[in-house]
Amino acid sequence: MHSHILPGIDDGSPDVETSVALVKGLIGIGLRHSIATPHVISDMYRNTPETIQEALDALKNALAKEGIDYAVEAAAEYLMDDQFFEMLRQKQKLLSVKDKLILTEFPWSFPPAKPEKMSFAIIIEGYTPILAHPERYTYFHNDYKIYHRLKELGFLLQVNILSLCGYYGPGPAKAARYIMENDLNHFLGTDLHHLKHLQALQDAFHSPSFQKLLQTKTWNTSLQNNK
């Protein structure tokens, strides 16, 4: 429910050929269904439901042409910037992972000043925010109490699998394990962008320590067939 496998519309897969290779890799680690979530960022990736649908159709057609049985749907990963909140105010339709669940992210360079106002603005419009990779925001690493607070505010926390495996370094790995061990997370995501990520995911899924970690929690797979 978090990947960047649609071709040519953000910093993920650059073309259809790479998208197909990424899907084949996901099948190889046992996945059968993805909800792709390309970035929507006002000053960088101005994606719309139309551009996302176009990229989704291109990938689906390529998979069908190769006879690859893999379900792909699309939502979006929304940066909570001024444009995002303007879309909410204008009641524009947001692309949801399931029902009214939307994938969101904070800015990387500075912490949100008032996350309670952010969650309130989203929830009052009938959506539930999933917060992507909270363990990767380094400005939270000095005080893990923020993860409890974010959950209280209504954010559903989504940890990256690659964080758990140390791909982004020891800080995100430690924070990810804290979130997992304190039962604060609701989702795991691949956040798959490219073939290097895929190789790291393949290594993770073959790791006994990662498999043991997965067994510590009962995972809800009800996102399947969410439309």
Domains of the chain: 16-214 (3.20.20.140)
- Closest C-alpha among 20, 26, 32, 5 to residue 66: 20
Residue 8: pLDDT band with limits 50, 70, 90: very high
Q: What is the pLDDT of residues 153-201, one digit of tens each?
A: 999 999 999 999 899 999 999 999 999 999 999 999 999 999 999 999 9
SS3 117: helix
Residue 213: pLDDT band with limits 50, 70, 90: confident
Burial of 174 (0-12, 13-18, 19+ CB in 10 A): middle
Neighbouring residues of 192: CB distance < 8 A, sequence distance ≥ 6: 3, 4, 5, 12, 22, 26, 198, 201
Please state the pTM of the whole predicted model.
0.93
Q: Long-range contact list for 44-48, CB < 8 A, 24+ apart?
A: 45/9, 45/10, 45/11, 47/9, 47/10, 47/76
Q: What is the pLDDT of residues 95-151, one digit of tens each?
A: 999 999 999 999 999 999 999 999 999 999 999 999 999 999 999 999 999 999 999
Between CA 144 and CA 217 the distance in angstroms is 20
Residue 212: its pLDDT value, please? 78
Q: What is the pLDDT of residues 68-104, one digit of tens each?
A: 999 999 999 999 999 999 999 999 999 999 999 999 9
